[in-house]
Chain A
């Protein structure tokens, strides 16, 4: 299968995280903060950081809460890479996965006040590319800066 993200991974990354965390939201928040702080050091602007923050938060919290059901003996594997021009993250949980094509469009009138689908939509807006594995328990996000 063609993958835009795979083509972009050969890159001179400035910083790399390859970690596995327990399904504790606070551990997710701490890692998100670290990544955003490092991106800020690389002069990513506030608008871009907002989009990365939103996407990273959705991907990691979805894995912890919906994928692993907040079960602390289940792990979330996170591989993140950043540089002055690119942000990449792969997040994998131990859950059964889901079908991203079956998520309803949250902008349709009948879905506007439903809780699901908004996070996935925002990730697709803010990231250059969003890909899932066939099981649906792994997401990859890529942002290429327009500079």
Chain B
């Protein structure tokens, strides 16, 4: 498995569980690195990805754009992406911008994994 700096990746029943490492995803160099690492996932892992955002206290709109690009890339390939463990402020950003209608957001990681199982 590739070495990553901005994400930790583990596997559970063919779902790639991706934890974002940085508490504040804003430094443009890190945002670019995060985007590159996320976009490398669909080729290396399964086409079902769970982004656990428990660590993330802040993310810039540039970082949000990286998540959107991943979602679009994965959807195009027939894959699935879900998000879990959003901090309240981050969840509010997704609500304000209506991205909650694009992203499949679950409260907890286990809820998302259960949904993946029932989607099969």
Contacts A113-B71, A115-B68, A119-B61 given; indicate if A54 touches B27 (C-beta within 8 A): no
Tell which of A26, A29, A58, A122 touches B97, judged by Cβ atoms closer than 8 Å. Answer: A122
Q: Is there contact, CB below 8 Å, between B64 and A113?
A: no
Instruction: Give the complex CA separation of A15 and B98 in angstroms.
Output: 36
User: Number of A residues whose C-beta is below 8 Å from B?
Assistant: 23
Q: Is there contact, CB below 8 Å, between A121 and B96?
A: yes
- Interfacial residues of chain A within 107-130, with CB under 8 A of chain B in the complex: 107, 112-113, 115, 118-119, 121-122, 125
Count how many pairs of residues, one from A and one from B, have CB atoms less than 8 Å apart in the complex.
55
User: Number of B residues whose C-beta is below 8 Å from A?
Assistant: 22
Judge if A61 is at the interface, Cβ distance under 8 Å: yes
Judge if A57 is at the interface, Cβ distance under 8 Å: yes
Q: Is there contact, CB below 8 Å, between A25 and B29?
A: yes
A residues near B101, Cβ cutoff 8 Å: 112
Q: Is there contact, CB below 8 Å, between B28 and A65?
A: yes
Instruction: Give the complex CA separation of A35 and B91 in angstroms.
Output: 24
Tell which of B27, B68, B96 touches A113, judged by Cβ atoms closer than 8 Å. Answer: B68
A residues near B57, Cβ cutoff 8 Å: 50
B residues near A47, Cβ cutoff 8 Å: 89
Judge if B39 is at the interface, Cβ distance under 8 Å: no
**Could you show 16 A-B contacts with beta carbons less than 8 Å apart?**
A26-B27, A29-B26, A46-B89, A53-B58, A57-B26, A58-B60, A106-B97, A106-B98, A107-B98, A112-B102, A113-B72, A119-B60, A119-B61, A121-B96, A122-B61, A122-B93
Q: Which 6 A-B pairs have the closest CB atoms?
A: A119-B61, A25-B28, A107-B98, A50-B89, A118-B61, A115-B65
* Residues on B facing A (Cβ under 8 Å): 26-29, 57-58, 60-62, 64-65, 68, 71-72, 89, 93, 96-99, 101-102
